[in-house]
Structure 1
Amino acid sequence: MTHTSNKRAQTFILCMLLIALVGALPASAQELRRTFLLEVGARYEVSVRIRTNLENAPTLASVYIHTDRGQYLRSTQLSRGISGPNQWQDVSVVVTAPPNAHQATVVFSVPEGVELEWDEVNIRRVELDMDAEELIRQGLVYTGLIVDARGLGLQRGMSPRIYSESGQLIYAGVTAPQSFIQEAGIASYGQELTPELLRRIQPGQDPIKVSPLVIKALEVTDSTETGVIISDVDADAILSALNTYDFLAQYSVIFLVD
Structure 2
Amino acid sequence: MRLKLLAAAATAAAATLTFATSAQANHSWGGYHWARTANPFTVKLGDNLGSGWKSYLSTASSDWSTSSVLDTTVVAGQSNNSCRATSGRVEVCNRTYGSNGWLGLASISVTGGTHITSGTVKVNDTYFNTATYNTASWKSLVMCQEVGHTFGLDHQDEDQTNPNLGTCMDYTNNPDGPPGNLHPNAHDYDELQSIYAHLDSTSTVDQSAAVQTVGNGRASWGKRVAHSAHGDTYVRDFGKGNAVITFVTWAG
TM-score of the superposed pair, with normalisation by structure 2: 0.27
Q: Which has the higher contact order (CA 8 A, sep 6+)?
A: 2
Scaled by the length of structure 1, what TM-score is found?
0.27
Q: Which has the larger radius of gyration?
A: 1
